Chains A and B, each alone.
Chain A
Amino acid sequence: DAGVIQSPRHEVTEMGQEVTLRCKPISGHDYLFWYRQTMMRGLELLIYFNNNVPIDDSGMPEDRFSAKMPNASFSTLKIQPSEPRDSAVYFCASSFSHQPQHFGDGTRLSIL
């Protein structure tokens, strides 16, 4: 069975550029989560969706970050404009109902 699929695996870009991270959840899962992981702050929940609807975006750091889920099989996380402090590993996870979450491989983002 296919797990959570994220793309790209790695992204290196210059500050000020727009960055788009993509996620395909496990088929049939109704929850989708976006996390960010850094050495300093650990793994932080940014936003999550239930049935494609954003439920809690209180973890989104600022207006430069936005997330969408246009359908049950796709979500994006955008950063515009990007800054060096946004450098981190971004994980997408999905779950069915309140079952444990399954994580994608992550996107390693470096903003120069």
Chain B
Amino acid sequence: RKEVEQDPGPFNVPEGATVAFNCTYSNSASQSFFWYRQDCRKEPKLLMSVYSSGNEDGRFTAQLNRASQYISLLIRDSKLSDSATYLCVVNKGGGADGLTFGKGTHLIIQP
């Protein structure tokens, strides 16, 4: 099983729609979880951290399910500017500081 697994997409979604991605991780020792966003030919940028109780930042909601080892990202009222690749990221756990990145889910918002 891959350490962090995501559906690569692409997800083609009309503007204004709600879209959700899931991500699964294999290391039960992982303690920190993030969603990063990467635009074409740009560096990854932190979108939001993911907390056990779930958290929201504007139109974005992140959820963590430790029992099933998956993380989700929900985007409401999608905008054209949300088109990007969304990377699911978990720390390596066990006191290690490195991060493991999923290969990303490609999202295309269509007008």
Contact = CB atoms under 8 A, between A and B. Distances in A.
Interface in B90-111: 96-104
Interface stretch (B40-48, B59-67, B71-79): B40-48
Most buried by A among B87, B98, B103: B98
A103 B99 contact: no
**Looking at chain A, what size class is its interface with the partner chain?**
20 to 34
Identify whether the interface residues of B are mostly helix, strand, loop, or mixed. strand
**Looking at chain B, what size class is its interface with the partner chain?**
10 to 19
A43 B87 contact: yes
A109 to B, nearest CB: 14
B99 A45 contact: yes
A81 to B, nearest CB: 27
Interface stretch (A14-22, A48-56, A69-77): A48-56
B43 A42 contact: no
